[in-house]
Amino acid sequence: MKPSRRIAAILALATLIIAIGYVALSVLQRWEVLASGVLTLSVLVVAAWYVMTRRGAIRAIAAVVGAAALAGFVVVMVHSDTVRVLIVGLVLAGISVAAARYALHSDGPLPVTAAPPASRPVLLMNPKSGGGKAIRFGLAERCRALGVEPIVLAPEDDLRELAEDAIAGGADLIGMAGGDGSQALVASLASRAGIPFVVVPAGTRNHFALDLGIDRQDVPAALDAFRDGADVVVDLAEVNGRTFVNNAAMGVYAKVVQSTDYRDAKLQTAAAMLPDLIGPGAAPPTLEVTLPGGEHVAPGQLLLVSNNPYRIGQLGGGATRQRLDGGILGVVALTVASAAEAERLTALELSGRLSRFEGWREWSARQLEVRSSEPVEVGVDGEALVLEPPLRFVSRPGALTVRLPLRAAALRGSTSRRPAGNAATVAGLWQIAFGARAAGRENGK
């Protein structure tokens, strides 16, 4: 880490403290102005930190909260005739925000080495994935222009057979344009053949692409990996011999995935089913796992096993993995025991703080066995399966070589150097400034 980032983190924390102290001393005799001024200024700065470093709903909520706090601070200071305090307070707050922005950003792209060109690159594509993205973006035509052989799945085709035939026919670089389930299948075959794999985010959510640093909104840009790419090595995970790139979920999410409506309306189906599935009256699956300390527990309404640990803020999305090469599985178990706990879970879900829920456990392991007295419904990278117990999960460290566009490879490398837990919080800045690990709540570890 650059020393300048450490200095910036110290400056961000120091100027926030100075700003709060200055406001407090300036209006010390007026308790109502003191309380409201210090509160709104503190909320403003912390909300700005979140806006700079978070994504999705958390960022949007922080932006709204920050705007409200700014308006409140201005109104309080102007109404109390302390314009000088307003100006100085905002200047100090601005310095704190700017310093935090620099401290929390990555060290910049790493230099990467371009991979040698492939002699026979192939891209398989599912024309129905993601509402027809492969067709909409003209991926087959773009492939031909790059010298890549496009293989478009027909309704009667078997993806595994097509991929195996392409590899047997001499493909030395193979890619998949489709959802995460298709990515996992073709990635497993590329891993077995020892050839690089290209991820083209033409599915619905494309979480694997997200955590690799690929721009999911610019689908054609992912094809740059065929022309001008760099190789990175990542892990795969397996459950009973089936490969997955993201996660395998039992309980709540597995029930959602099993729904006949899920494939056509993923988010709507999840939103409609989750309240009944996570409530205290819901019957949890008959599962049992062993915690790292040796304790046997029933995981409750949700058990999630991921290819490297997620940082989960919300059940409905927003989870990311800082790295895909840690050689471990991430495990999350959720138990909701009462109506009061269900209400608290909902509140923490909305604020992106699920890990603070008392029924939340998370840990990491290189392998995991899940026991049950009956077949287990599992959502594996969004695909609905029913597997016979016991379910044996293992991590396959460094099993897959992914060829990324050069820019994505450089950005991914710089991001992977950031210490775990660098969130836009006081704890995150403290970690950068003084080298202490941010205190995170991790049950069962």
pLDDT digits (tens, 9 = 90+) for 239-259: 999 999 999 988 765 554 444
pLDDT: which is higher, 57 or 310:
310
Percent over 90 (pLDDT), the chain = 46
* Helix ranges, 54-108 (H): 56-79, 83-104
Against a cut of 0.75, is the pTM above it? no
* Mean pLDDT (the chain, rounded): 82
DSSP state of 131: G
At the fourth CATH level, the homologous superfamily of domain 121-227 is Probable inorganic polyphosphate/atp-NAD kinase; domain 1 (3.40.50.10330)
Reply yes or no: is the peptide bond before residue 390 cis, omega within 30 of 0: yes
pLDDT band at 24 (very low <50, low <70, confident <90, very high): confident
Q: What is the mean pLDDT of residues 24-37?
A: 82
Given a cut of 70, whether residue 108 has pLDDT beyond it is no
For residues 251 and 274, is the Cβ–Cβ distance under 8 A?
no
The structural domains of the chain, with segments of one domain joined by +, span 3-107+421-434, 121-227, 247-395
pLDDT of residue 317: 56
pLDDT: which is higher, 38 or 59:
38
pLDDT: which is higher, 223 or 30:
223
pLDDT of residue 389: 95
The radius of gyration of the chain from alpha carbons, rounded to an integer in Å, stands at 24
pLDDT of residue 199: 98
Q: Phi and psi dihedrals of 40, rounded to 5?
A: -65, -35
pLDDT band at 358 (very low <50, low <70, confident <90, very high): confident
Given a cut of 90, whether residue 200 has pLDDT beyond it is yes
Q: What is the mean pLDDT of residues 42-64?
A: 79
pLDDT of residue 270: 42
Write out pLDDT tens, residues 371-383. 999 999 998 998 8
Given a cut of 50, whether residue 414 has pLDDT beyond it is no
Write out pLDDT tens, residues 254-285. 554 444 443 444 344 344 445 555 555 555 56
Fold of 247-395: Tumour Suppressor Smad4 (2.60.200)
pLDDT of residue 258: 45
pLDDT of residue 152: 97
Given a cut of 90, whether residue 163 has pLDDT beyond it is yes
pLDDT of residue 330: 95
- Integer Cα distance of 41 and 351 in angstroms: 20
pLDDT band at 142 (very low <50, low <70, confident <90, very high): very high
- Integer Cα distance of 239 and 230 in angstroms: 29
Indicate the range of 40-49, 331-340, 421-430 predicted with least confidence.
Answer: 421-430
- Integer Cα distance of 262 and 155 in angstroms: 19
pLDDT: which is higher, 346 or 70:
70
pLDDT: which is higher, 33 or 176:
176
- List, as one string, the DSSP characters of 333-393: EE---SHHHHHHHHHHHHTT-GGGSTTEEEEEESEEEEEESS-EEEEETTEEEEEPSSEEE
For residues 336 and 273, is the Cβ–Cβ distance under 8 A?
no
For residues 105 and 7, is the Cβ–Cβ distance under 8 A?
no
